Amino acid sequence: MITDGCFMLEIMRTVTSGEKNNGYAPDDPIFSIHRLEYIAPYIKRDMLLLENQLPLLVLYQLVAIANDGKEDNVNELIGKFCFPHEKKEFKGLDSCLHVMDVFRQGLLMGPKEVEDVRKEQDPRPQGHSEEAEPIIRSANEFSEAGIKFEKSKTRSLKDISFGGVLKLPLFMVDDTTESMFLNVMTFERLHINAGNEVTSYVAFMDKIINNEEDVALLHTEGIIQNNFGSDKAVADLFNSLCTDVTLPFNKNLDDVQQKISKHCKTRWNIWRANLNHNYFKSPWTILSLIAAFFLFALTIIQTVYTLLSYY
């Protein structure tokens, strides 16, 4: 544990220092700047495996020993390492169990937002709400019903809202996404007080992503950054994450789903969705519809002239 803890602290220190010369030889197989550019993402992935977690108390004690009794903010160091391009404030976090716990709270944190994300569980049964279960359609079906998509103001996975426009946080999908989500979701399942926000986010995305067309729409709206592969690969990824997973109850997302379901059930939006699906799906159907209206207009004009000539 001491060896692993020292290695983790040194990796995070060298990666986040931003120094061109970190004190290691240019040909060092691990800590050279050139080498760290390639292996740091994979070290981060391994650090987030549930079976690789060290008690954060070990890192606290190692830092205190290295600083002659002065405790440095380990949470902030982990935050800078895991979220290098985001301005998140980790100084106010406490009572974290390990690196994954800090990382999970970072996923749910907006810029300069410090809060305890461990909420009390809702007393209602998981997966059920007081109202009837809403029908969640895919992103393209939302679009056909007149629902627009926008990026949320933050990248917090909790920042999902609906008020005629469905706002979702920007999320980047890459080779480490599957491993990260599976481990964080397992952590939420195993620890009663951890919360279920990440699992709820993945379940919601699984519902609105059915195929590559849904991914392409969300990518066009700037909600999903695809560094993983094809749009189909991203769709398959989200569809596989919730296999055999009991979907948790989340009050915020349940409210969003109820509002979306109510919006889609209004008569005008049903007609609009049917028109978009049946007549505006391709240029040929649009041309056919225009031609039909044109012929109908000509028929009316001909009928009017016939009546006028008769009278």
pLDDT at residue 20 tops 60: yes
Spell out where the chain has E strands: 148-151, 161-162, 165-168, 171-173, 224-226
- What is the pLDDT, as a whole number, of residue 118? 41
Query: What is residue 167's three-state secondary structure?
Result: strand
Confidence class of residue 159 from pLDDT cuts 50, 70 and 90? very high
The whole-angstrom separation of Cα 165 and Cα 150 is 7
- Residue among 126, 91, 90 nearest 108 (CA): 90
Q: Which helix H or strand E contains 258, and what residues bound it?
A: helix 251-265
The whole-angstrom separation of Cα 230 and Cα 232 is 5
| 54 compared with 270, residue with greater pLDDT | 54
- What is the pLDDT, as a whole number, of residue 26? 84
Q: Would you put residue 78 in left (φ > 0), alpha (ψ -120 to 50) or beta?
A: alpha
Residues 6+ apart with CB under 8 A from 27: none
List the structure tokens of 81. Answer: 């390492």
List the structure tokens of 224. Answer: 């999903």
Instruction: Express each pLDDT in 78-131 by its tens digit.
Output: 999 999 888 888 877 777 899 999 999 999 987 655 444 444 444 444 444 444
List the structure tokens of 228. Answer: 């993983």
Instruction: Express each pLDDT in 251-296 by its tens digit.
Output: 888 888 888 888 777 654 454 545 455 555 556 565 666 777 778 8
CA distances from 119 to 154, 194, 204, 297 (A): 20, 8, 19, 61
